[in-house]
Structure 1
């Protein structure tokens, strides 16, 4: 490869990093309320919420709109990092595969090769994403159990106790905050568990990102390839935004459908401070590792426990993933320094 080609490749990777980061911001703003509901369903006890709509209603009633955006700053940064690394990593992985198979930079890869490139990209994203997700999950679920169970206890007490007795035995309904914000989570985690504490649940993140990245990019490229053929065009730049959005939505559905059970395990591991199963804290047991966490989840709720919050996650992936890919493709189309096939 000539010096000019190497320079162009680096510029292309920089474009992918920046465009991916911007796309991540757009997608995260849309999906975060859904993500909050998902994490709360994944980590709460069976009697806290009676499903997705009950979780939404209780969150809004008790915490307002702000309750859906708890801990947004950390995942917003995380989404920038994740999508920036994913898109630039995907581009770099394609280059490596083309070089290994003696293909030119303009020659399209097979669907299997696109899928492989997506998995490689996910590996890099997982390393950077684990600490960010740990902070996000802790902020999203802190005091959820104490808040809703305390209010249930108050209602029960009112029905059984005279008003004057309640006045003398006030039930605490306002939860005490464990963390004041993202930096407090980071400080407390490192102080109590060292730097390795920030990588709690990394195995789950790694499995999710590798398998999810492979599915995300693989399905997107497959959908785009089919759409280009049916539209009689030879380049993604010729596809209208709405068709790119549909392809992106399909990619998002495939990502979450494949990786969701692993994400449940990861969320449990990262929120063990607050993890409750059937009303009993299992933090220490969860601390044994990925396999032990998965076993405990299965014993507590069977296979269904690995899909708590899956419905809303699939729903959120449609607009979120669609927006991410449309934003990325339009930025690349209008501001990129090289056209990809």
Structure 2
């Protein structure tokens, strides 16, 4: 199991720069058709954004927020898959006559909602560290936690949680529903090497689910950087946002529909391979545990 956990950690480290680029693009308040007082770097595209970050903040700038992101990824994955398996098993044992796709949707939505709530403070810290430029808002994880508690209270760790839960419930429901559908279809393709159906199905499911709920992900990011440090991040012109619907309305009014999809492409580039690795590892882990159980081997 530690081998699989290490593989997940390594994959997260590799795609961390894409995460920073996505967050920077999502927080960028810029539109060619609106008048904005632009205060901060102007990012366009994945590689130009990376080059600008390296030039201004050094190579380490591409890994800002990676420590809370690593912790988030491991904790979220563990709680998500455990809840998914248990919920799916509970529905099966209940005797309800529901299609497998509906079981997967319900189990995925439940798992996503609970895992998001449990690990949300780590998600918020990841966003805030990735959003800070040359001027550090937080000096360390310890400093960030202390600063948020002193200046924002416990609520500060859960800014944007509503958008996160509303986003993740349909996202994970769609993800697991499409994953199971694609995996069953690909299992009939004889030419695929062992394990490839899980990886391809994971990539496909991630692309569909991520695109469907992306505006809520962007809204969540903008709500996460609200508070007393709002104007200290690399983008210093982030407006004051109050809630999910008012934030969506303000973005549509000021930046147009495209404003709700800033960073979508890099998000898909990041999510598809990461989900492929995650689902491949998940299926291999299940098979490994099943083998141990059959052999009556106690860990």
What TM-score results when the alignment is normalised by the length of structure 1? 0.75
Which residue in 2 is equivalent to 1:12? none
Which residue in 2 is equivalent to 1:5? none
2: CA distance, partners of 1:190 / 1:20: 35
Contact 2:128 2:225 in 1 (8 A): yes
2: CA distance, partners of 1:266 / 1:60: 26
Unaligned runs of 5+ in 1: 1-14, 144-174, 233-237
Check 1:305–1:20 CA distance in 2 against 1; reply closer, same or farther (3 A cut): farther
Contact 1:19 1:84 in 2 (8 A): no
2: CA distance, partners of 1:254 / 1:129: 24
Confirm or deny that 1:61 pairs with 2:55: yes
Specify the SS of the correspondent of 2:135. Answer: coil
2: CA distance, partners of 1:212 / 1:54: 29
Q: CA deviation at 1:109?
A: 5.7
Between structure 1 and structure 2, the one with the greater Rg is 1
- Which of 107, 115, 131 is the equivalent residue of 2:121? 131
- Which of 178, 197, 209 is the equivalent residue of 2:168? 209
Contact 1:141 1:274 in 2 (8 A): no
Confirm or deny that 1:25 pairs with 2:15: no
Q: CA deviation at 1:59?
A: 1.3
Root-mean-square deviation over aligned CA pairs: 2.7
1: CA distance, partners of 2:158 / 2:74: 19
Check 1:20–1:270 CA distance in 2 against 1; reply closer, same or farther (3 A cut): farther
2: CA distance, partners of 1:87 / 1:28: 17
2: CA distance, partners of 1:247 / 1:209: 19
1: CA distance, partners of 2:115 / 2:151: 26
Which residue in 2 is equivalent to 1:153? none
Mapping for residues 111-150 of structure 1, pairs under 5 Å:
111-143=101-133
Unaligned runs of 5+ in 2: 31-37, 295-299
Contact 1:20 1:87 in 2 (8 A): no
Contact 1:20 1:88 in 2 (8 A): no
Specify the SS of the correspondent of 1:230. Answer: coil
Mapping for residues 36-185 of structure 1, pairs under 5 Å:
36-46=20-30, 48-101=42-95, 110-143=100-133, 175-185=134-144
Which residue in 2 is equivalent to 1:187? 146
Check 1:259–1:28 CA distance in 2 against 1; reply closer, same or farther (3 A cut): farther
1: CA distance, partners of 2:138 / 2:167: 27
Q: CA deviation at 1:22?
A: 5.9
1: CA distance, partners of 2:7 / 2:252: 36
Contact 1:20 1:84 in 2 (8 A): no
